[in-house]
Amino acid sequence: MNSDSMQRVAVVGVGGAIGEAFCRALLDKPSIQQVFALGRHPAPLAEISEKVTPVAVNIRDEASIQAAAEHIDDNHLDAVIIASGMLHDDAVSPEKRLAACSSEAMHQLFDVNAVAPLLLSKHLAAKLKRNAEAKLAILSARVGSISDNRAGGWYAYRASKAAVNMLIKGMSIELGRQDKSLTVVGLHPGTVDSRLSAPFQANVKPGKLFSPAQSAGYLLSVLDGLDSRHTGRLFAWDGEEIAP
Ligand SMILES: NC(=O)c1ccc[n+]([C@@H]2O[C@H](COP(=O)([O-])OP(=O)(O)OC[C@H]3O[C@@H](n4cnc5c(N)ncnc54)[C@H](OP(=O)(O)O)[C@@H]3O)[C@@H](O)[C@H]2O)c1
């Protein structure tokens, strides 16, 4: 299913830079009839277009995810894009050293970056149209690649993204047995100007810090080029596959 033909899509994490940019990019497509915008505070997005259906959700609470999913009919969506994620907050920052690791930060990042996408997929997979080349895309990160880890550090974030990559693989196998046309993939958005990357932009090479709109545009093009033959794998903003 090409994004130019998509009619109904759910985007999770619409309060985030990339999540909002996905919503806006989808709303620019003439084929789009409805965007389900899931996030903690999705109401402002509904002001952009009457095609937006805002759905409040706390992705760290399965009951909230289940209730949010009930707003969407089964066999209804062309794609689900999960663009939520966390690297730091007031209490948590990426660890430079093993000595800085804590149980709290490990649990929090695993919860937001791995458990939440799994539970969102658990409740939203049935909303995807069956046998219609539907797509389930989850924002991961290149730093979750074990083979690509040359710098060390960022233990909790790296491990939580490696974990979500494994969950994507597992879901692609199980869900692919029920619908051979389904594509389940992880996406790396590049380095994107957002709250998440703000403290870490100093060393980004010129031209390599994307606006959220740029990144969402690249990722929709990448998704357009992917089909069920690519399921279970991780792809970057430029279409390059990232090894696990
Ligand atoms: N920016 C980058 O350079 C970069 C690079 C590689 C990968 N990524 C990945 O891309 C995705 C989007 O990142 P972004 O740059 O758009 O970040 P962002 O602007 O910080 O947005 C992340 C969104 O995730 C949701 N979220 C975060 N923490 C949460 C929590 N504790 N509980 C519930 N929801 C939470 C929120 O959405 P709501 O407010 O709507 O609930 C939040 O706005 C993430 O998975 C990130 O890891 C980003």
Output the domain CATH number for residue 188: 3.40.50.720
Amino acid at 148: D
In tens, the pLDDT along 104-114 reads: 999 999 999 99
Residue with tokens 């804590």: 102
Number of structural domains in the chain: 1
In tens, the pLDDT along 169-228 reads: 999 999 999 999 999 999 999 999 999 999 999 989 889 999 999 999 999 999 999 999
In tens, the pLDDT along 121-179 reads: 999 999 999 999 999 999 999 999 999 999 999 999 999 999 999 999 999 999 999 99
Mutate to test the pocket of ligand 1, among 11, 12, 14, 18 (most ligand atoms within 8 A of CB): 18
Q: Per residue in 200-237, is it b (16+ CB within 10 Å) or e — as a string?
A: eeeeeeeeeebebbbbbbbbbebbbebebebbbbbbbb
**pLDDT on residue 191:** 97
Ligand 1, atom 18: closest residue by C-alpha: 16
Range of the structural domain that residue 79 is part of: 3-242
Residue 50's pLDDT band, with cuts at 50, 70 and 90, is: very high
Ligand 1, atom 30: closest residue by C-alpha: 112
